[in-house]
Structure 1
């Protein structure tokens, strides 16, 4: 967001126009903090509405940052003349809260100053409302850059990054998506959520993210103070009462309020950026989700429950009459008119919202039971949906109702692993797509998949066949066809992204996936939203690799398995496996692809299984695993039997890799490059690289170059920014000199790695960052982190023991107390101490005692480790050693001037 405002070649006037809490002042403050040019700051106040007041404050603000104070001015023309003579280039003036000057002489003066000021004086304005400026002319002429609330709002992946990197309280991708949906990406809402959940557990914060609304105490306080305060009584009443509609139009509001003029009010609210938006050029409006929820709460608080139910009931009638059944159903529910809810459900295929499942309605209502079955199917829980359809069918002895249940159940049964014989016709599209999962029909360019099969099925089959260009062409048409149902268009849009990824276009794929996920959520299509979010997470895992992203993907895959969404679990595992293969993490990719192949086999999805086995063969061939040949044979057999021609390309790639590995292994004479040998990089207990079990003898390196190598080695595969490396290794060097020294050191490290047999691409530069990439090497830190995650998930003795075994000593002891290693060294030491405590608590006899001793050695300041050791010694019949341990513990506490902890050791079972 800062970049266009700082661009010297861009417009000289910037306008940030957005509602309260959108982040305008924060962004302006960040721009002001950059050292590119002197910045004057003036925040308008309600009392500054005269020309004289504006001129005085602008003069004072500019004088603070100029070498010589400006001459005194009382009119804007005098101020313009003073800035022409007294403001050297470049200088920028920030005027925040300009909306306080709306409709005043000061606003007219500011407009004149903006038009006639010297052009080297850049002007940045922040306002909640449009200004009396000819903004279209300024934009067309290139003089104005305008950023609005949509530019300032956070997207879901940005929310996820914000809570992990800035607030240090990570959220899962789905919780971040829920929070984005609840707040609309509103910056103040995100900050208020963070403040409201500080100190809470991860589970509590995730639950709060899914439940956040205008009833949050902090959100209510903010909206009351910054948004609703100062409103005229009639405008406040308008907002409260019309919030019951959800979908706002002039006629609907007029009928509900029983007075004319609502269309003008709605247009004014949108113009004033009052948390009111329209996506169809003023035909309909809606309030921001957070404001909507807050207004609904105020409606009950201020008018009472009875009056609120009456207003919602009338709103439901008006919405139903206007042909908006979904909004009408919600209004009726808030009016406690459940009969009308059931009637609307009965009249058509209206999909129930989440609140229907949580409403506490009786389970014997057939229409609501049907709505629940539909919701389960749209969530991907196929088996549960089939059971729910059967239950609904048994609740009402009505032929039409039972026929509807049976028809919809048949559509769901198609996607079961072994669907029963169909007693009712099934849509050709679903049937064709499901059959294509088992075996592909012959499909050439322009050839249909069968009579009556929709283009959506043909495009999907082309994708499964590996005809990516044809698939993209067909699916783009479907995604843009308004006559196709929403679910079909969104599936086609997801499939288009998959074709782009298959063609190698991974950059920027997360943006269309965000739009697809939001559209799916709005259209009540949770399974498609989940698939889009999962694919988005996998794309980010490949293009912006961070350790925590894999945990997020694992969580999403586990959620699919927990909910009985086997197709979602298959797709998620495939996405992650492909992403890890793209990122060069072949070992992890193999694990995920093996999981995906198992899911595909269970669903009898032999075509996806063929692709997965082919991808796995590539990963195994790159790892030189002994089972690669067997995997190739299995994949080739399945590709033939399932008729998947496109997957042969992957098999050819895997075969070439396997043949190259065999040639490298058998070639006589010469030194064997490390890239083709089993290499092991150690940094715990000391830095060393082993090839074939033998330590590599390193050529001489200058101290700073060696330090650079070690710093990269303890962050394998991660980008380390130039500034971080310079601060760590050349803290006193000027920026230019530090950059030059870093480049020289990186070149020396690269030459050194090449000399010992590593690829000359082992040290890679990515913009202003450097990373160490050893795709075929075993790295102790990577393995330690992987085993630690596994142990925390499983909690088994075997997994915790592996973690402890990997910690053979402190991180890079040879560098001493270098600042750049201390925090990481401490983190690994404490993690190993945790592992030792866990092993001591889970093991028996001698192993438990050894682990307890190790826990004390690794962290002598942890009370529980001392108490655990003493208790184990006493339990194993050595009271003398136990007494000695307690005395030593008391001595340590005395040295720290702390009392001996009275706490007892937790039970051995946890």
Structure 2
């Protein structure tokens, strides 16, 4: 008999785990289920279609134990034995488990079927009689109560329906990696929100949109609100069909409420039927929650239905009632009106504002100011001020400032204090919990679950920025190459969504995770230096520069020694002792004479500050075996830093004022440094063109291949790149004749790109013109027409002529030149409209004429000119303008205007902005502008 059971057990185990459906690996759930190996028992409970079986199969396949996979039915427990299915009683399953040699995992799927058949006692006995080496995990739609009540059974690991909901990053990976239809971040968030991460709904939406073009799929995402037609058949045939009639009626009638309560449902029933029946909604709602997992509650009173189901019920019931649906809604509103108003805690109310797109309480500006200051310099000093501030905001600020300084061992306590404050503002508590989880390290699964909980709570609280940040941190959590690629894609979406802070934080976190795994990626850290500099965050930029130096030393790049010395100087200037320890480690790996002493200094500095040196050791520094490359004895060249300092080997506090650059590109090209015009007569023509190309993009990097292709396209790539390097050196000498070319503060190389840097006090007419155009649009949007007119007038003053006329028809300048010309023509027409509206026809005439000078075929400007002359009382000029307008239309082959005075009234001529196809404007003089 024993041998027979052993044979059955061997056959059952050999049958293995059924193949899981296509899907992403739910890392947070896998981590939670790992605790089953210690607790002995686990329960995965959730509604139909929540992905229970998939999760169980994924974890069973990865747990490392022999698996007995069983599916519960009303007839018993079905297992696979070889190629056939065998139905066993719970007692027989116990015998199979006793015959298994060593630790074994028993997976019981669809346990609710056994519970519904009245076999709860047999299932309980199965768990009680299982050997200590048998681990049991159950999948069910209703939670067995005996596992929590019996003292003989250890408390199980419980994964609920809320845990099973797919998170935004999981939906993102599902569409990107499994379905092959990547969605934008906004669409992923919309889809996750509308389906609430219900796996079946997400899959049904994919099936409904499979084969659509990307634009049509995006349109389908945006139209998800209302009746979820893509899931209708599934909801009717698979979910609602299993419910008893009273439950279905309760769901249909109660769906008019956003939250169902027993009192509301019973009151609505009385309103509709007019009968005083016995209350029965309480038991039905409890049954929906406990038996079917179709309702959730936090207080035992207010119940919420899954959003997809709720929308379907509301739409289906309204369709069924037809014209009577209005009565249904009115009666529901009457029920709500009879309820007492909800209690509110006035003391916890807060007004919220944004700090660079991040939600913060208005009454917390003091701690926000401390964090802002810590991002720029000396975060340790700001931490002391934050400690004196106190409160949740003070504790959060103290922890963040200490973290920026690198004093990680000290940062944990204030962050933990803020995260555990029961009376603190919820966003601050969640932000502290997020920072503490990122700082704590430890088991990946524990960190993942904490960040997961923060993301879910932030999403429920409507804290979009914090939820998205948590999303991004989870994407790059494990530091693998795939995670870093996903982080870059996520960061690109955040940057496109005007969230540079979130983008930079996610990329930094991902790069740190990769560094901890030994991934030395200098390019990633070089990009982060630029990003933090652009945000005027000198402290994170110092960290990024130190990590760049570490990775450059690990890869033995030619300038690694110089980069390490620069990183040391920048860290000192910014007052970041933790980054200084990293810089010492990079110096130790690149200095052939003092490497040992510097390595000891790096370790002692790291120990003193409490900074985590493991990422440095992971790439082979600080005791590693990275060979030392001799460094040249030349002095450290000055480098540009985020605050415009020239950092050298001298005292960290010494500063040289960065030169101011004035660049003019409109009408003629001129450049001045510190008020003195630069003599470019000795610079070769193509080098001057390179400078003009950089000036066109002043303040923004231009890739060197773009420069080489535009200016030396006839040469092979190597020769073109050589000519570019020679030309850049010539430009640097012309701009800063007393500064070594590699130390230039005005033409800076960032990786593979060059930037003409605009220091504080510098000016560029193209940049100022575009800012004035944007400013006028903002003023008009807020209704401030006077300020908008001032900004538009400045646009016309700045436009001194065509962009870079010296470069003629060069391809790289033709498109920007035409774009600026048309932009200014638009601005002139807008100014004419504003002046006409303000009753200033003379100014409107000048602006409209200027618009026509720049773009003769601008229909709106011609109409404005006629209207302005008419308003000024100059009928002859209005007639001449009308004739010119007709001539322009004739030249374009557009039917001539009727000979009526219809053009005169402003109401007739200002109603449209249509512009016919353009042609080259006539040559006409333009004002030289007032920019200097």
TM, length-normalised to structure 2: 0.50
Shift of 1:480: 1.2
Asked whether the 8 Å contact 2:41–2:155 carries over to 1, the reply is: yes
What is the match of residue 146 of structure 2? Answer: 134
Q: Do 1:214 and 1:295's aligned partners in 2 also have CA atoms closer than 8 Å?
A: no
> Of 586, 591, 594, which aligns to 1:659?
591
Note the C-alpha offset of 1:430: 1.8
Out of 218, 223, 240, the residue aligned to residue 235 of structure 2 is 223
From 402, 413, 430, the equivalent of 1:462 is 402
Deviation, structure 1 residue 485 = 0.7
CA distance change for structure 1 residues 627 and 9 in 2, over 3 Å: closer, same or farther?
A: closer
2:119 to 91, 102, 107: 107
Provide the rounded CA distance (Å) in 2 between the counterparts of 1:63 and 1:596: 54
Corresponding residue for residue 298 of structure 2: 279
CA, structure 1 residues 237+506, in 2 after alignment: closer, same or farther (shift >3 Å)? closer
Matches within 5 A, 1:167-566: 167-171=179-183, 176=188, 179-201=191-213, 205=217, 212=224, 215-255=227-267, 260-280=279-299, 282-304=300-322, 306-307=326-327, 309-310=329-330, 313-314=333-334, 317=337, 321-323=341-343, 377=354, 380-381=356-357, 427-440=365-378, 443=381, 448=386, 451=389, 454-500=394-440, 508-540=446-478, 542=479, 544-546=480-482, 549-566=483-500
Question: Which of 527-536 and 569-578 deviates more?
Answer: 569-578
CA 1:140–1:246 in structure 2 vs 1: closer, same or farther (change >3 Å)? Answer: farther
- Separation (CA, whole Å) in 2 of partners of 1:448 and 1:83: 61
How many Å apart are 1:475 and its aligned residue?
Answer: 0.9
Query: CA contact under 8 A between 1:80 and 1:118: conserved in structure 2?
Result: no
TM-superposed deviation, 1:532: 1.7
Q: CA deviation at 1:322?
A: 1.8
Deviations 1:526-562 (A, max 9, x none): 111222222222323x1x332xx44432232223332
Larger Rg: 2
Structure 1 residue 253 displacement after superposition:
4.7
Contact 1:40/1:65, CA 8 A, preserved across alignment: no
Number of positions where the alignment pairs a residue of Structure 1 with one of Structure 2:
569
Partner deviation per Cα, 1:291-326 (whole Å, 9 max, x = no partner): 23333333433345534653664576478822479x
Contact 1:2 1:31 in 2 (8 A): yes
* Residues 93/539 of structure 1: CA separation in 2 closer, same or farther (3 Å cut): closer
**1:677-688 correspondence runs (5 A):** none
Q: Over residues 158-188 of structure 1, what are the superposed CA-to-partner deviations in whole Å (9 max), with x where a residue is unaligned?
A: 4444445544445566655554444344332
Kindly tell me: are residues 635 and 143 of structure 1, through their superposed partners in 2, closer, same or farther at Cα, counting changes over 3 Å?
A: closer
Alpha-carbon shift at residue 427 of structure 1 (Å): 2.6
Gap regions ≥5 residues in structure 2:
1-28, 271-276, 597-623, 630-701, 719-810, 812-932
The answer as to 2:33 corresponding to 1:21 is no
Pairs within 5 Å for 1:847-866:
none
2:580 to 634, 638, 648: 648
| Cα deviation digits, residues 348-400 of structure 1 (max 9, x gap) | 8688xxxxxxxxxxxxxxxxxxxxxx6xx38x548xx9xxxxxxxxxxxxxxx
Contact kept, 8 Å, 2:561 with 2:591, in 1: the verdict is no
Return the alpha-carbon distance in structure 2 between the equivalents of residues 86 and 535 of structure 1. 42
SS of equivalent residue, structure 2 residue 481: coil
Per-residue CA distance 1:466-522 (angstroms, 9 max, x = gap)? 221221110111011121111111221222234336xx8867533322222222111
Aligned to 1:44: 73
Structure 1 unaligned spans of 5+: 46-53, 326-343, 352-373, 386-406, 412-424, 665-672, 679-789, 807-843, 845-910
| Contact 2:455-2:471 within 8 A present in 1 as well | yes
Work out whether residues 38 and 65 of structure 1, in 8 Å CA contact, stay in contact via their aligned partners in 2. no
SS across alignment from 2:556: coil
Contact 1:13 1:122 in 2 (8 A): yes
Q: Aligned pair in 2 of structure 1 residues 43, 805: CA closer, same or farther (>3 Å)? A: farther
Distance 1:555 1:83, change over 3 A: closer
Please give the per-residue CA displacement for 1:84-126, whole angstroms capped at 9, x wherever unaligned: 799965899987655456665x537855984898979999865
Q: CA deviation at 1:662?
A: 10
Does 2:628 match 1:608? no
Measured at CA, do residues 312 and 203 of structure 1 come closer, stay the same or move farther in structure 2, by a change above 3 Å? farther
The structural deviation recorded for 1:617 is 2.1
Alignment deviations for residues 401-437 of structure 1 (CA, whole Å, 9 cap, x no partner)? xxxxxx99xx6xxxxxxxxxxxxx9831222222222
Q: For 1:98 and 1:195, locate their aligned partners in 2 and report how far apart those are by CA, in whole Å.
A: 29
Verify the 8 A CA contact 1:242 1:253 in the aligned structure 2.
yes
Conserved 8 A contact 2:373-2:382 = no
Instruction: Kindly report the root-mean-square deviation, in angstroms, between the aligned alpha carbons of the 2 structures.
Output: 5.4
Query: Partners in 1 of 2:344 and 2:378 — Cα distance?
Result: 41
Query: Partners in 1 of 2:579 and 2:320 — Cα distance?
Result: 64
C-alpha deviation, 1:627, in angstroms: 4.0
